[in-house]
Structure 1
């Protein structure tokens, strides 16, 4: 950082901004001062140093400090535990072997880690835990310079050996050590770089991007669960497209989500079609816009964003060049749903996320059979029933999937979907579409046909549900007659009891 001049007016603009950021950070720290200062005072009285560190300082400087605070100290873990025991309401020691203890007091969660000076075998990402003796040594091993700043408490003195404040002001993402050293120690930091680009709108330094390209294959040392967590945070950031582009441009996506770079299909002059990869990025952006417009205060919708990104991953496998110069992607939604399910399983996503994303990919093309409203009410009911709880997301995905620059065509698609939603609302007023069930339940089917629980009951139930979707609600006698008609067609013996 440049040395201050005699006059504040002569200081470089960047330095003045940094000083203002420091003051703002201190004011933000005052908001949580009671707990932080109490804790710092306890450590100081016992002769130990305590620093607010890493993401907590970064977020304070960005004006977004949360109720979770990260600290580092020269006290060893056993001593930290003693200092917390009669101060915190709750203490947990699950990370004590790595020098970390957690505690909770008056609405604030704190995590305290002893100074670290770890070494890595660079085969796995597991360090040989070595405790350090200085804040400078601890900050050197951190992932990025914006996370390598600290505030000593209770003095509230900033510690910034790697010029992290300047990087924060300039929104620049760089590493305290060389990127190669940092990423060799922990390859997950490459994914974290893309996540910070998405979450915090940072610009990675050229040397960081180059190291990511050189070392992309190192990400295979990381477990799928850790990759999944970073990928989810990236997609739920404020600028997920930028994070995804960094993954693809550096080659990391080839190991994490190889289906993405595979969508960059070659387009020749005789077989024109959309760039599927770029189209998918636009759909992702538009889905995020629709999500925010629907509820600006809602949490980011991982399922919708993942489905928007992956909705066309089946196109490369289904591309066909047609006579006359056309290109087709028949059944790409079916193939894409299977591919999405396989990839998300490999990344250890939950069954709910896997099911929801793959179903949205499967359903995203269904609307395009609607045309100018030719669907019957039966077809509308099936659309709603097949979507189930995903219907609000499907509405957003289908609308986001319109990326044509032809204004007339875009307006026609928008009007058609407006019409479909209006029809859904009209039918919903007449029927409870969210709870479409056969007009007879399983118990009544068994009683009327005189059968025991088994396959016949399920087959009859599904038939009556299909009839219900086609015709709408039926009177009880009409439903019974339909059940008997179906049973006779199936050769099921029964005696009509009604």
Structure 2
């Protein structure tokens, strides 16, 4: 994916439209025949000019939603109206998903989470209400006329994020745009115009009227961008992070000359970048969240001790709880909350490995506790080494290499990922003469711990050990 601006905007637009032709031009002719305007708008135009991959197509029109439905009836393969109250009709044609939105303006009442929508009649006026000038460009259809009334092309050349009008007006209309500015900085690597930066700082408190779900979606897009440090720094510097992810700016712990430790905030950003460098199949939101949040328990657990040392005892446990609470507040899915908080909880476990003193039982438990998160835990643990001491960094890497080799050996010998007790629940009930209930669960856990500690011992030995354990239980 490229971020290099094409030297021929008209050709780039035509190339994009011809690539999805006859769909785009055909749709333009359908609207023109019905007496209405249609234009490709926003992200697809921006990305075409940047030479980026374009998937979804967004169109805008002077036709009202009910009229759009009439026009596309018989042309679209499928239609949905989930966004009709905001003037948007979704449809599918072949392999393409399309959104068509009526020219509009929208604004938020200071105390409301929902925008008030008013329909318009002008493409230029519709572009004025777009979040940023780079998203306020369009191509009329079916003639491919390039429309750029607010200097979006110049901003692409300057790699600048700027609003079409006054940023205060734009952010007043939709405060979420402040987060979008940071998101586009992350995705495109662009800098934010000084006036936009000042407005974000001044109006940061307005973000609190936006729903947690919308904030979450922007944060996820920011984190999975190409330059997340750039976006996160913007959030922290403008005060937005204090409103939506307050644990992040709190990592900027005050450091005095007597008690020195790493800059936890800077360390966390470096860990994020080093985790990203290990990704193999594109952005991994769970890994990136865990890398960013892995040390958020440190401010609450910091303690000063004699000799100028600083400790953060059990910060991984506290951090796991804090991560869970924050991600729940942001309405992340349960599996994301569970996976991220588990990775935060486990991120220090490796440091008990020393130079390889763990028994095979300890290695089995490391694998068992990580479960399906083990590949991510490997990446997070390696990323967490940010020391500038090359010899120390190399020693840590070698030690983790050794642990991974031991895991691979045990995996080959014992199929670690499939570890189960030698006896299942039905067999436990038969041996001990039990009916289903909590006692069977306790017996199962005993056998699982035995399996982790001793490796495969066979059913006969497991049965003997189970009987002895049960006798000891009284």
Short-chain TM bin: over 0.9
Q: 1:461 to 1:120 in 2, by over 3 A?
A: closer
Paired residues of 1:18 and 1:165 also in contact (CA < 8 A): no
**Structure 2 residues without counterparts, runs of 5 or longer:** none
Aligned counterpart, 2:293: 310
| 1:374 Cα deviation from its structure 2 partner | 0.4
Paired residues of 1:28 and 1:65 also in contact (CA < 8 A): no
Aligned counterpart, 1:285: 273
CA distance in 2, matches of 1:483, 1:220: 57
SS state at 1:57 partner: helix
Q: Which runs of structure 2 are paired with 1:235-246 in the superposition (5 Å)?
A: 235-246=223-234
- Aligned counterpart for 2:383 among listed residues 385, 397, 400: 400
Paired residues of 1:67 and 1:107 also in contact (CA < 8 A): no
Aligned counterpart, 1:9: none
Could you say what the CA RMSD is over the residues aligned between the two structures, in angstroms?
1.1
Q: What does the per-residue CA deviation read over 1:271-303, in whole Å, with 9 as the maximum and x for residues that have no partner?
A: 110000000000000000011xxx2xx231100
1:41 aligns with 2:24: no
Name the larger-Rg structure.
Answer: 1
- List 4+ stretches of structure 1 deviating above 4 A: none
- Aligned counterpart for 1:324 among listed residues 307, 318, 327: 307
SS state at 2:199 partner: helix
Q: How many residues align?
A: 470
CA distance in 2, matches of 1:271, 1:127: 50
SS state at 2:318 partner: helix
| 1:75 Cα deviation from its structure 2 partner | 1.4
SS state at 2:393 partner: helix
| 1:125 Cα deviation from its structure 2 partner | 4.4
- Aligned counterpart for 2:243 among listed residues 255, 272, 276: 255
CA distance in 2, matches of 1:280, 1:133: 49
CA distance in 2, matches of 1:305, 1:244: 12
Aligned counterpart, 1:181: 169
CA distance in 2, matches of 1:18, 1:382: 54
- Aligned counterpart for 2:366 among listed residues 373, 383, 387: 383
Paired residues of 2:138 and 2:147 also in contact (CA < 8 A): yes
Q: Which runs of structure 2 are paired with 1:185-200 in the superposition (5 Å)?
A: 185-200=173-188
1:269 aligns with 2:257: yes
**Structure 1 residues without counterparts, runs of 5 or longer:** 1-16, 492-498
Aligned counterpart, 1:478: 461
Paired residues of 2:162 and 2:192 also in contact (CA < 8 A): yes
Aligned counterpart, 1:10: none
Q: Which runs of structure 2 are paired with 1:74-223 in the superposition (5 Å)?
A: 74-223=62-211
SS state at 1:103 partner: strand
1:341 aligns with 2:324: yes
Q: 1:311 to 1:120 in 2, by over 3 A?
A: closer
SS state at 2:139 partner: strand
Paired residues of 1:53 and 1:151 also in contact (CA < 8 A): yes
1:71 aligns with 2:59: yes
Paired residues of 1:125 and 1:185 also in contact (CA < 8 A): no
Paired residues of 1:125 and 1:187 also in contact (CA < 8 A): no
Q: What does the per-residue CA deviation read over 1:302-323, in whole Å, with 9 as the maximum and x for residues that have no partner?
A: 0000000000000010101011
Aligned counterpart, 1:32: 20
Paired residues of 2:106 and 2:173 also in contact (CA < 8 A): no
| 1:435 Cα deviation from its structure 2 partner | 1.2
